[in-house]
Amino acid sequence: MTILDIGNYIGIKSLTEERKKPLIFAFIFFTVYICAAVFGSEIQKILKLDLKMGWVQQIVSAIAILLFAYFFKAPRQLLALEKPKDKNWLKYTIFIGVIFSIWNLVTSMLSNDPTVNSGLEYYLFELTMPSFSEEIALRGAVLGFILYYVKQSGFSNSKIWIIVIIQVLPFAIAHLLHVESFGEGLRIFLFTFSAGLGLSWLRIKTGSIFPAMIAHSIINVLDSILGYLL
The ranges assigned to domains in the chain are 9-229
For 167-202, b where at least 16 C-beta lie within 10 A, e where not — what string?
bbeebbeeeeeeeeeeeebebbbebbbbbbbbbbbb
Q: Is the pTM of this model over 0.95?
A: no
The CA–CA distances, whole Å, from 160 to 4, 90, 156, 223 equal 10, 24, 6, 31
The CA–CA distances, whole Å, from 193 to 100, 168, 200 equal 11, 6, 11
pLDDT at 106: 83
101-126 pLDDT, tens digit per residue, is 998 888 877 776 655 556 889 899 99
Amino acid (one-letter) located at 10: I
33-50 pLDDT, tens digit per residue, is 999 999 999 999 999 998
CA distance 139 to 200: 6
CA distance 127 to 100: 15
The half-sphere exposure of 205 on its side-chain side, counting CA atoms within 13 A, is 21
User: If you average pLDDT over residues 144-160, what whole number do you get?
Assistant: 93
User: If you average pLDDT over residues 83-111, what whole number do you get?
Assistant: 90
Three-state secondary-structure class, residue 194: helix
Pick from 100, 118, 113, 108: nearest CA to 222? 100
User: If you average pLDDT over residues 163-176, what whole number do you get?
Assistant: 89
Query: Mean pLDDT score of the chain, rounded to an integer?
Result: 90
